[in-house]
A and B are shown apart, each in its own frame.
Chain A
Amino acid sequence: MALIECKEVSKSFGPKVALDHVSVNFHEGKVTGLLGPNGAGKTTLIRIINRITIPNGGEILFQGRPITQADVEKIGYMPEERGLYRKMKVGEQAMFLAQLKGMSRADALSALKDWFVRFGIQDWWNKKVEELSKGMAQKLQFITTVVHRPSLMILDEPFSGFDPVNADLVRKEILRLRDEGATIVLSTHDMGSVEELCNDIALINKSKLILSGDVQDIRRRYGNDNIELEYTDETGRHTEVLPRETGGNSTLKSFIDRGVTVNSYRELMPRMNDIFINLVTGKEEEEQQ
């Protein structure tokens, strides 16, 4: 079921069109990768879902009904351009942001204490943000995004600026929150993490949605339907790429019958990176013609 449905959403800033009739669904309990080159309109779409920007046309449905300002409390948004008040104390800052998301003082305090322990920063409650190391500040930023247990999390380039250790921590938390039922929208240029984390993708290019759906389906659709077979015979190790016959194991069987040792047999799928580049640059070429 779709938690968020974007229906024919359009937005323009003066003569510049940022989104052109974009319709896309974000499914409950899944991680959706929101992809697209810089300036494609991803951030505008995210801001419209967060009700920061008002669309010129179309509508956003939250759990099947038009989204309201009250629903925004159920969203946790980590923008690409993010930061914290430098002069404020860590604890006060986290309390302030948690309360803005509708939490009571008591709830915010106990939830934050839990998160601080989980991330090992409980001693930092009374320090000023400017005293934090970058990694610490990143942890705090993530905590303030998720502390109110949002049913929708929108993370814009969540790993940029994070060191590998913190990036991994966040990656694990994202998967854990998804398993607990949160819907996650991940906007990123890092195709590796898309393959690793995302169930679905939505690709926006030049203000238009050009592709959306299940990641595995899409990779299969854009592949050549080949298999890769690796075997060892008396002359050594060999790798062969062969077209897959529909519904059969005959290829595999023929190799086994030849008396060679099959080491691996796997479906060859294109990398998300290649699909992305093909689609985005291909579209550009089409338009130029």
Chain B
Amino acid sequence: MNFRNIGLVIGREYNTRVRKKSFLILTFVVPVLFAALCFLPTIIMMNTKEETREVAVVDRSGIAMPFLTNSDAANYYDYSNSDPDSLKAELDNLHKDILVIISPIDSSRSVSVQTFSKKPAGVDFSESLSRRVSNAVEDYRINSYDIAGLDEIMSSVRANVKVQEYTLGADGKETVSESGIYMVVSMVLGMLIYMFVAMFSGMVMSSVIEEKSSRVVEVLVSSVKSIDLMFGKIIGVALVALTQFALWILLTAAILGIGGAAFGGKILGKMADPAQQEQMMEMATGGIGVHPDLTTVIANMDDSNSAKVILTTLGNIPWGTLLVSFLIYFILGYLLYASLFAAVGSAVENEADSTQLQLPVTIPLLIGFFIALMAMRNPYSQVVWWGSMIPFTSPIVMLARIPYGVPTWELVVSIAVLVATFVLCAWASAKVYRAGILIFGKKGTWADLWKWLKQK
């Protein structure tokens, strides 16, 4: 190992990469997107709230109107005595957005509802309307039985059972928790590490291919030992990744700080209102494409203390362990895959040829990602446990497991196995790489890689 030369290779790799336009763009765009993800649901919600629909109602049933009380979302006006057809024509003149026609009570003691509007009424509006009219019909049916006190009986019969989760600490302390939060954190972590490992080890591969296709590689290896070149490259790209993380965190924090100062008051005001909190949650989770179950879980939470549950749950997550493990698993996972991708890159002369060859390397990474998704739903299954131990999937799966708490010995074993596998793979990759980079005009196959591995 010639550390001076490794240093030179690292320096070149790092300097050319951080000066690339794509690096700068990514560095600035990602924090903006991330901040937008944090703010957008709130902003959208605040803006949509502003608009109150003006609704004309023709109530033929005679029971629904009392239930259509005015809200932020809609003002209801009783036009039961007007002709629906002329109302349809006159809607604009009356400054109404929507016309609602409720049919007379039919033989099955129900009603049907129709809405007419220039613009689609929207899911929120129709759900709210449906709920209100259903309440009216239920109320009508209860009353039609003419049993004294039935109303009270019915409301006392209605049940809405909630599950309050507690996690038991080592000290026997009970803390309120919420699985949904764990799911989000675990999913985000699994996804991030998958993305970063794939992205940055792919970068190592393109760098290897670039040196081969530009024919600079044989000039290089006449000065640098191929193993020094390979590791210099891998370390160089790792430093690029860490620089990018640091910039992302700083910039996101800065944007959130500025944005928070500007919007903060308003958002906090909204947060205090439990009903809106629920809606915010729904939007926030819907916005990032979370599994529908999660939305239900959060929506079902007891409104009054949901904020408390979220906070205690977040507080319950071992953030310190999480951050340290994220860095350890990212670095190790990256090293493992980067060395494999470097070997694959050494066999081809252009990116297009690499697609087929890199498949066997990409598949374990993808499997890891899918097991991580599974961990989000069922963190204690056998598949997930093994996934967090097997080195090719463990960086992703273990990260998804950590929010739920992982015994230290499992972490130690998993990391030790990962390190050992990395050393083995790096050794093998270095051998393949040394032979591969000097083969020109031929697209390597896995059989070739195996042959090169056995070469002295």
Contact = CB atoms under 8 A, between A and B. Distances in A.
Contact of B216 (A84, A92, A99): A84
B223 A83 contact: no
A14 B455 contact: yes
Contacts of A257: none
B215 A82 contact: yes
B222 A87 contact: no
B219 interface: yes
Given A84-B214, A99-B8, A100-B8, A52 B16 contact: no
B216 A100 contact: no
A51 B225 CA distance: 8
A139 interface: no
A54 B456 contact: yes
B223 A73 contact: yes
B2 interface: yes
Contacts, number: 66
A129 B438 CA distance: 22
B220 interface: yes
Interface of A: 13-14, 47, 50-54, 56, 69, 72-73, 75, 77-79, 81-88, 92, 96-97, 99-101, 141, 144
Interface of B: 2, 5, 8, 12, 15-16, 210-211, 214-216, 218-226, 438, 440, 451, 455-456
Given A83-B216, A85-B214, A52 B456 contact: no
Contacts of B15: 92
A42 B155 CA distance: 95
Contact of A52 (B214, B215, B216, B221): B221
Nearest to B210: A85
A100 B5 contact: yes
Contacts of B223: 72-73, 97, 100-101
Contact of B222 (A54, A77, A99): A77
Contacts of A97: 219-220, 223
A100 B220 contact: yes
Name the residue among B8, B222, B224, B440 with the largest chain A CB count within 10 angstroms: B222
A83 B196 CA distance: 31
A56 B219 contact: no
B222 A144 contact: no
A96 B218 contact: no
Name the residue among B8, B211, B218 with the largest chain A CB count within 10 angstroms: B218
A92 B220 CA distance: 15
Given A52-B438, A73-B223, A96 B12 contact: yes
B222 A75 contact: yes
